[in-house]
A and B are shown apart, each in its own frame.
Chain A
Amino acid sequence: DGGITQSPKYLFRKEGQNVTLSCEQNLNHDAMYWYRQDPGQGLRLIYYSQIVNDFQKGDIAEGYSVSREKKESFPLTVTSAQKNPTAFYLCASSIRLDNEQFFGPGTRLTVL
């Protein structure tokens, strides 16, 4: 663990507002990922990026957007179009796409 940071740890937003979650890694990993974790539903992949300036939709991309302008950073924006944004969000990275992933500590987003 270590090397992947997410901020903030807790985030509160009003309904209808966009919010951006930060994910940074200093492991020199090419691939990065965003997951959503809900009670009883396990991990669900939102978006992933194999390399800088490239990203792909995961299983539940609707209502989310990402960018990958730098190797170290993969921010996730939760838009107002996301119907149920309150959740625990996990960022991960791996050396390459087909390698084990290392996870950040997570951000708990609550939309009021």
Chain B
Amino acid sequence: AQRVTQPEKLLSVFKGAPVELKCNYSYSGSPELFWYVQYSRQRLQLLLRHISRESIKGFTADLNKGETSFHLKKPFAQEEDSAMYYCALIAAGNKLTFGGGTRVLVKP
């Protein structure tokens, strides 16, 4: 069965510093990978998907099939990036599987 691991429960960085949220997955096929974000008092929403290969709010994520990773990166963190982030995977024919989540705190 597929599994998504986010090793950091909490990531604390200063404003302007780079931030990288780690996501590793276990699945032998070709997965679809996503990052969801939940800002304070807002609903959980899709941040980006790997097939789009786009940058959203300055965040990018690259699928590394060799390392089975999909880390989320932003070169210069902003205070408004403080939120809960979930990595998620869809394996063929199956529902979305979420990682345990990483809380990001950007300090001024």
- A interface, CB within 8 angstroms of B: 1, 31, 33, 40-43, 48, 90, 92, 94, 97-106
Q: List 29 A-B contacts (CB under 8 A).
A: A1-B43, A1-B45, A31-B95, A40-B9, A41-B100, A42-B98, A42-B99, A42-B100, A43-B44, A43-B86, A43-B98, A43-B101, A48-B95, A90-B44, A94-B95, A94-B96, A97-B94, A97-B95, A98-B92, A98-B93, A98-B94, A100-B34, A100-B49, A100-B90, A100-B96, A102-B46, A103-B43, A103-B45, A105-B43
Q: Using A31-B95, A100-B46, A105-B43 as known contacts, say yes or no to A42 and B90 having CB atoms under 8 A apart.
A: no
Complex-state Cα separation, A107 to B43, whole angstroms:
11
Task: Give every chain A residue within 8 A of B9 (Cβ-Cβ).
Answer: 40
Which of A31, A97, A104 has the most chain B CB atoms inside 10 A of its CB? A97
Complex-state Cα separation, A33 to B90, whole angstroms:
15
Task: Give every chain A residue within 8 A of B46 (Cβ-Cβ).
Answer: 100, 102
- B interface, CB within 8 angstroms of A: 9, 34, 43-46, 49, 86, 90, 92-96, 98-101
Complex-state Cα separation, A106 to B93, whole angstroms:
27
Are the C-beta atoms of B95 and A33 separated by less than 8 Å?
yes
Which of B34, B44, B46 has the most chain A CB atoms inside 10 A of its CB? B44
Min CB distance, A16 to chain B, in Å?
31
Which of A1, A31, A43, A99 has the most chain B CB atoms inside 10 A of its CB? A43
Task: Give every chain A residue within 8 A of B93 (Cβ-Cβ).
Answer: 97-98
Task: Give every chain A residue within 8 A of B34 (Cβ-Cβ).
Answer: 100
Complex-state Cα separation, A41 to B99, whole angstroms:
10
Min CB distance, A82 to chain B, in Å?
21
Min CB distance, B54 to chain A, in Å?
14
Task: Give every chain A residue within 8 A of B94 (Cβ-Cβ).
Answer: 97-98
Task: Give every chain A residue within 8 A of B101 (Cβ-Cβ).
Answer: 42-43
Task: Give every chain A residue within 8 A of B86 (Cβ-Cβ).
Answer: 42-43
